[in-house]
Structure 1
Amino acid sequence: FNAHNIIVVGKEGDHYFVSDPIMETFATMTDYELERVRFARGPLAPHGQLYYPKASREVTNTEMKQAIITGIKRNVQHMLYIPGNIAGVKGIAYTARKIKKWRDTLGVEKSRSYLAQLVRMQEEIGTGGGGFRFIYAAFLQQAYDYFKADELLAISKQFTKAGDLWRDAAIQASGIYKGRLSTQKDYEDMGDYLIEIAGIEKNAFKALGSTVKKLRTL
């Protein structure tokens, strides 16, 4: 689907070997198939774009530190300061409030379908959920090696906690869409997980926003 990245890792004859994050093994594509993918139509069409390394060299310590600072600043901006209420931590809380109403407004069957899709996008093919919080926590631990700022380790623990809660929320959602859980309280509990997550991540990103100013001097 569009807005998705794949990595071509090799070629043999007319076949390319493709690594895709939603597949457990390499896939193969012909020249024709790869061209169709690159020029797929529809929303967020890729227009044939591709990117590749031109040369290999060692990244300097200064470059790495600047990349870390830039990445953190961008994530803080995206999670805290994007206008509106459907993105970042505000989007998490917004979704939580919606979920609490789904059983009454959508009915049991449709609300189950919505939750199944939410978890699928969150944990399997999307960029949310527990796995990405654990990755970000690990990133902050690695960033500590460059800056020796204790705040990075403390904030890393907050993201690990958020990741655990995302996994708990996914388990709660799976119980609902598989029919093991069905009461309004079950939907309330699902929403409460996300509200707690939104609070933890809001505090964590605010702390990162303050910490990144300190990193510039280290």
Structure 2
Amino acid sequence: MAFLSIERDSSAFVVTGFQHFGGQHCETTALRKVLAFTGQHYSEPLLFGLAGGIAFVYWWTKKMPRPFVGGRNGRFPDFIETCARRLGASLDLTRTNRSRKGYENLKDVLRGNQPVVVYGDIAELPYFATQRHFGGHAFVVYGLSESENCVFVSDRCEQPCTVTIQELAKARGASCPPFTPRHSLLRVVRNEAPSDMATSVREAIRDSVKSLRSPPIRKLGLPGIKTFADDLSIWPRRLTPEALPFALTDTFINLELAGTGGGAFRRMYAAFLREAKQWIDAPRLDDAISHVDMAAAHWETVAKAFLPDDVPALRRCRELLVKRNRLFEAQSEDAQASMEDINERLREAMSDAILDSTLSSELLEHAREKVLACYALEGLASSLLAEVCESEAVNQASHEVRP
């Protein structure tokens, strides 16, 4: 019914021909939609792999209340711009600290009948129903009506969503370090079919291998996984008993939910490698895929170790988080109310999850063992991926010198 009134609304800017669909990771889902609008259709795992694929980050500065753990390679805007470049596309990025300017930039793109990728804090988007801040979230805006105070949003959930103009502005202008959106906006300015997908795939795999095996600091890549494991013993000293459950749930969310596709993004990356077989032929590629699959399963075990079955309150937290994520992804008519109900039950479970020092130390030591197992497996997987890159380089050189 909203679209019937929009058609007669002179203050409305609605992109015609835009198709909504869901996805796994916010940035690759958003990019996939705006590229599809221009006529270029790709799978989400392919976009994820070309953007940089997997790596690891363990980050905890003095200004952060608790640590951040992530499994993706690349920050904004490098991640999404690299993917576009490897596909023969160009993106125009605009940023501003002024809300009015950010809104005018958005309307300018919509007036040109183009969907636009924007960034915002999920805590300010009502359809997330969360108080957890993350300002690096990407989604597509494909229309708005000023008279109805309605913005049409296409996120990674199954159904499109709506927010008010004020809610969108608050999300886009939120201050939530280290991921502050600054009214960022991305639009496609050129989109051509890739001229050499094999080269793009090879470059992307090399990037992931380099990020895992040769990171600039020990908080990243394979050293970052080891640092993560080693730091778990000091969590009870750096976090109060009341704060520790939030660190445990954050870690579970960042590894298993939050748009990772499962297994700290390794599920998506294994799917990318399978798709890559149509462009590259390397003897160790199947072995690499198998090890990335195993790494994904191990990371799922790691995530569960932070909210284990043998601590009933933490198990309830895990079950409620998974249920809330399913409700978010489905976005049925009563999803927001159901998620708010889960939030209340989560608060109760979190209150019950305050652990004594002995139990918290035992839990974190068990998690540490799981992380170290992942560390060993990721080392093997990255070695195999390095061999894939080396064999492909040899194959490419041999083709180049043929008469």
In which range does the TM-score fall when normalised by the shorter chain? 0.7 to 0.9
Counterpart position of 1:81: 214
3-state SS in 2 of match to 1:53: strand
Counterpart position of 1:50: 185
Q: How does 1:14-29 map to 2 (within 5 A)?
A: 14=146, 15-21=150-156, 23=157, 25-29=159-163
1:113 to 243, 246, 258: 246
User: Which piece of structure 1 moves more, 94-103 or 163-172?
Assistant: 94-103
Q: How does 1:1-218 map to 2 (within 5 A)?
A: 1=121, 2-8=135-141, 10-11=142-143, 13-14=145-146, 15-21=150-156, 23=157, 25-41=159-175, 43=177, 44-54=179-189, 57-60=192-195, 62=196, 64-103=197-236, 106=239, 109-125=242-258, 130=263, 132-175=265-308, 176=311, 178=313, 182=359, 184-216=361-393, 217-218=395-396
CA distance in 1 between partners of 2:241 and 2:262 (Å): 24
CA gap 1:177/1:160 in 2 versus in 1, 3 angstroms: farther
Higher strand share: 2
CA contact (8 A) 2:174 2:182 kept: yes
Equivalent position amino acid for 2:221 in 1? G
CA gap 1:131/1:25 in 2 versus in 1, 3 angstroms: farther
3-state SS in 2 of match to 1:159: helix
- 1:197 Cα offset (Å): 0.5
Equivalent position amino acid for 1:157 in 2? S
Equivalent position amino acid for 2:392 in 1? L
Higher helix share: 1
CA distance in 1 between partners of 2:252 and 2:220 (Å): 17
Q: Which runs of 5+ in 1 are unaligned?
A: none
CA distance in 2 between partners of 1:193 and 1:35 (Å): 41
Please provide the CA RMSD for this pair: 3.0
Q: Which runs of 5+ in 2 are unaligned?
A: 1-120, 122-134, 316-354, 397-403
Q: TM-score, normalised by structure 1?
A: 0.81
CA contact (8 A) 2:215 2:221 kept: yes
Equivalent position amino acid for 1:143 in 2? A
Tell me the alpha carbon deviations over residues 55-92 of structure 1, each in whole angstroms, 9 at most, x when there is no partner. Answer: 554334x1x22221222122122222222221112111
CA gap 1:25/1:200 in 2 versus in 1, 3 angstroms: same
Counterpart position of 2:3: none
CA contact (8 A) 1:76 1:209 kept: yes
CA distance in 2 between partners of 1:45 and 1:187 (Å): 30
CA gap 1:157/1:207 in 2 versus in 1, 3 angstroms: same
CA gap 1:190/1:45 in 2 versus in 1, 3 angstroms: closer
3-state SS in 1 of match to 2:162: strand
How many residues matched? 214
CA distance in 1 between partners of 2:241 and 2:165 (Å): 46
CA gap 1:192/1:128 in 2 versus in 1, 3 angstroms: farther
- 1:173 Cα offset (Å): 1.4
Identity of aligned residues (%): 25
CA distance in 1 between partners of 2:390 and 2:160 (Å): 42
3-state SS in 1 of match to 2:151: strand
User: Which piece of structure 1 moves more, 28-37 or 111-120?
Assistant: 28-37
CA distance in 2 between partners of 1:12 and 1:107 (Å): 44
- 1:129 Cα offset (Å): 5.9
CA distance in 1 between partners of 2:237 and 2:174 (Å): 39
Equivalent position amino acid for 2:280 in 1? F
CA distance in 2 between partners of 1:131 and 1:104 (Å): 26
Structure with max Cα Rg? 2
CA distance in 1 between partners of 2:185 and 2:233 (Å): 42
3-state SS in 1 of match to 2:193: coil
